[in-house]
Each structure stands twice: as C-alpha cells, then as structure tokens.
C-alpha cells in the first residue's frame, strides 16, 4: 500500500486525476471503476479539463441508491453525468451502473470486459468502500445492501429531508473491488480519522477498507490535518 499525504483537496484531486490520465494514455481501452460522493468530485473536474480521449474507455460505477430514477439529482447516475460524463467524449453505452435488476450480471459484465484496470474509491466515515458497510464478513459480489445508520445520516445533507435518504443501495462487492489491477483511494480532510484507523494492519470486515492492505497495487491519497 502506497500512502500519499497531501496538503489540501486541490492537490489530492490533481494527483488522482494525473494517475487516471496516465492509465488512459497508456491504455486507451482502459476499464475504470468509478466512485461517487464528495471526495472524487475534484478529480472528475480535473479529468474533464484535460480533454482526454475517453472514446474507448469502459466505466463501471461502484454503487447506486435503490429506488431513485436516473433523472433524480441525488442518483449516482445523475452525479456521474453532471460531474464527468457529459464533459467528456465517452459513449453512453460504455458507462455501466449497478441496479436491482442486474446485480447477478454486473460482476459478469466486468469480467467480460477483462477486469477493472483502475478502481477509484472514496471511504465512508465508518470505513465503508462502495456501500460495503461494516459487517461480520466481507461480501464479494454485487448485491443490494442495507445502509448503516451512520451512512444514512452522513448522506442526509444531500437530500431535502432526512427521510428522503434511501435505506438501501446496490454495491459492487469487495471481491470485485479487490480484483481491480490498480486501486486509488481518495479522502478529504474530513476522513482523516478513519484513514488513520485504516492504516492499522489488522484487517477486519468491521472496517471494510482495511481489506486494501491485501491489494498488490493500492495508493491511498489523503489530506492530512497535521
């Protein structure tokens, strides 16, 4: 695991975007795994500004809320369109999202694409990656998950009313995430405490991101508060 401490969110976004751009330039047919949430927004903005050729890139998103239509501003489909896809030349058919209807097929789609070349991750305040919440075991496959109360509370700020936050979501599994050839995890200053916990070499499904200690090519980029 490679650890990069950065001074601010701007630097975090620049480094992450440069690493993704390098991947696309070296392999124009790259398969990218993409995260949502506040941490990767700056990365996507910088990627869009680079005017890279995404015409042969395939993308697979980590997760999506259950029960939200694609045109709902809080759906992750809408998030990706607004923050990245409508600003680059990626064909719509090259972008993929998990749904309640394709959980069983999503991992197969990724496998047929030749595995994810580079997976971008954020991290939840409880250590989740994707929507793989703290649990007794690591779940390998894409599935519908019950969101932890801490996740629901953290995401309430994006919704008009706390009661509007979905209680379930679809998430790529830990096994699929770990099968990616490269992983980049980005974390802004508000995730400093959970990043410090994740650095502990003890791997436990109670802190899902700790599994990344076992990945052979994982880079953690985080804003330090010190």
Q: List the catalytic residue out of 133, 155, 188, 215.
A: 133
Which pLDDT score, from 0 to 100, does residue 155 have?
81
The model's pTM is 0.94
Please report, to the nearest 10 degrees, the dihedral formed by the alpha carbons of residues 204, 1, 39, 191 taken in order.
50
pLDDT for res 100: 87
At 104 the pLDDT is 82
- Assigned fold of 2-223: Rossmann fold (3.40.50)
Phi, psi of 221 (to 5 degrees): -115, 120
Closest CA to 33 of 215, 224, 223, 222: 215
Place of tokens 């809408």: 78
Predicted confidence (pLDDT) per residue in 149-159, tens digit: 888 888 887 78
Q: Is 126 a catalytic residue?
A: yes
In the chain, which residues have pLDDT < 70? 226
Determine which one of 83, 96, 117, 126 is catalytic: 126
Residue 80 near residue 62, CB atoms below 8 Å: no
Q: State the pLDDT at residue 133.
A: 93
What pLDDT is stored for residue 158 in this prediction?
Answer: 77
Predicted local distance difference test score (pLDDT) of residue 7: 94
Structure tokens at 106: 């999503």
Catalytic residue among 128, 132, 155, 188: 128
Q: 128 an active-site residue?
A: yes
pLDDT at 226: 55
Residue 95: strand pairing partners: 59
């Amino acid at each position: 695991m490679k650890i990069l401490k950065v001074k601010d969110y701007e630097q975090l976004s620049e480094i992450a975007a440069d690493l993704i751009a390098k991947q696309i330039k070296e392999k124009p047919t790259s398969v990218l795994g993409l995260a949502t949430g506040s941490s990767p927004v700056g990365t996507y903005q910088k990627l869009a500004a680079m005017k890279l050729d995404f015409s042969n890139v395939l993308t697979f998103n980590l997760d999506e809320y259950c029960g939200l239509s694609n045109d709902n501003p809080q759906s992750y489909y809408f998030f990706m369109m607004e923050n990245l896809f409508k600003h680059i030349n990626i064909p719509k058919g090259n972008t993929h999202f998990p749904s309640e209807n394709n959980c069983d097929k999503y991992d197969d789609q990724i496998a047929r694409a030749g595995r994810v070349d580079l997976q971008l991750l954020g991290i939840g305040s409880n250590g989740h990656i994707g929507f793989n919440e703290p649990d007794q075991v690591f779940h390998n496959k894409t599935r519908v998950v019950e969101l932890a109360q801490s996740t629901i509370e953290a995401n309430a700020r994006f919704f008009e009313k706390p009661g509007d936050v979905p209680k379930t979501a679809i998430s790529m599994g830990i096994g699929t995430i770990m099968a990616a050839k490269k992983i980049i995890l980005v974390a802004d200053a508000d995730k400093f405490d959970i990043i410090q916990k994740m650095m502990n070499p003890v791997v436990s499904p109670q802190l899902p991101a700790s599994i990344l200690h076992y990945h052979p090519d994982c880079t953690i980029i985080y804003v330090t508060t010190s």
